[in-house]
Amino acid sequence: MNRLRRLVRMLSLAFWPALWPALGLTAPVHHHTFTTSDGVRLHYIEAGRGAHTLVLIPGWLMPAAVFEKQFETLSKSYRVLALDPRSQGLSEVTTRSHAPKRRIQDIDEFLKAAQVRDFVLAGWSLGVLESLDFVANYKPKGLRGLILIDNSVGEGKPPAGRRSNFAQTMNDPLKREQYMRTFSQDIYRKPPPPVLAQAVLDSALQAAPDVAIQLLNQPYPRTYWSETLQKQQVPVLYAIRPWLQEQGKALQKKRARDLITVEMFDKAGHALFVDEAESFNQAVLKFSQQAFARKK
């Protein structure tokens, strides 16, 4: 089974450029890999070119492919990169560490491998927390802005917790598969392209149960995220659905007007950049233009 899965993933990588037109997209994309300092092969996607780069970090168990609609539009103005974190997408499924410190080190090594200089960092869901953790620990000199997509940033009331039987579900093969299938559908409000839906499901299913559990057990208090964000002297775009409206208002009160933009997407699911791709992309283009135009 593992050999078959590896073969399917290799074929996916080989034929992915041919599948791009099937999604109605025309942007030329390039696939790259690099090896981390602990010996794990990571994959990332690149499109566009230029001195300014948009870096995309996907959410829990999700692949870089989920940002396809961003590659199509945003790469016309910027170099766009999206990482497949370890054990996600087309990166190596590994038994090595998935601890937060290792994951943010992967982001640092990814930026160096891709020779990224001035950039806006965008994280979705778990990628929000990993992006904030990364900037708190590495303080990247080239960071020009942050885009935080549909996750809590430690403001206001804490969101509802996971079900008490989550670990049990993850460790039961049948229950886990059903959970992942439901999860991979529920992140959208509108049906996604079938190729994208399959890529998301494949990525969600491939990580080991203990990895899936560990990734959601962040070892920090909620104040870590809010305090980290308050320390950043770069513009922030907070792209959210109504469930995070309270946190958006709290950020607007705490940060200077030129350092916070809150965009609400009330007709989208968790993958709001897929459901409302045009509106999201336009918000990112406007924000990025202003972020890169600011003096360092």
pLDDT tens track for 204-240: 999 999 999 999 998 999 999 999 999 999 999 999 9
pLDDT at residue 156, as a whole number = 82
Q: How confident is the model at residue 256 (pLDDT cuts 50, 70, 90)?
A: confident
pLDDT at residue 161, as a whole number = 63
Supply the mean pLDDT for the chain.
91
| Cα(261)–Cα(248) distance, integer angstroms | 9
pLDDT at residue 1, as a whole number = 43
Cα distances (angstroms) measured from residue 218 to each of 22, 214, 292: 37, 8, 31
pLDDT at residue 164, as a whole number = 74
> For residue 143, what are the β-bridge partners?
119
Query: Coil, strand or helix: which one is 16?
Result: helix
Q: How confident is the model at residue 248 (pLDDT cuts 50, 70, 90)?
A: very high
What does the pLDDT average to over 101-125? Answer: 98
Q: How many residues does the chain have?
A: 296
pLDDT at residue 138, as a whole number = 98
Does the domain formed by 2-293 have CATH 3.40.50.1820? yes
pLDDT in tens, 114-162: 999 999 999 999 999 999 999 999 999 999 999 999 999 999 877 766 6
What does the pLDDT average to over 53-73? Answer: 96
> For residue 123, what are the β-bridge partners?
57, 148
Residue 268 or residue 25, greater confidence: 268
Judge whether residue 13 has pLDDT over 50. Answer: no
By CB atoms closer than 10 A (0-12, 13-18, 19+), residue 59 is: buried
E strands within 49-185?
Answer: 52-57, 79-84, 118-124, 143-149
> For residue 240, what are the β-bridge partners?
264
Q: How confident is the model at residue 14 (pLDDT cuts 50, 70, 90)?
A: very low
E strands within the chain?
Answer: 30-35, 41-47, 52-57, 79-84, 118-124, 143-149, 236-240, 260-264
Cβ neighbours, 10 Å, residue 278: 9
Q: What element of type H or E holds 129? A: helix 126-138
Name residues whose C-beta falls within 8 Å of residue 169's C-beta, 6 or more positions apart in sequence: 163, 175, 176, 179
Q: How confident is the model at residue 12 (pLDDT cuts 50, 70, 90)?
A: low
Determine phi and psi for 79, rounding to 5 degrees: -75, 130
Determine phi and psi for 96, rounding to 5 degrees: -75, 175
pLDDT at residue 163, as a whole number = 64
User: Percent of the chain scored above 90 by pLDDT?
Assistant: 84
Q: How confident is the model at residue 67 (pLDDT cuts 50, 70, 90)?
A: very high
| Cα(136)–Cα(104) distance, integer angstroms | 10
pLDDT at residue 295, as a whole number = 75
Query: Coil, strand or helix: which one is 202?
Result: helix
Cβ neighbours, 10 Å, residue 3: 7
Residue 189 or residue 23, greater confidence: 189
pLDDT in tens, 163-180: 679 999 999 999 999 999
Which tokens belong to 213?
């559990």
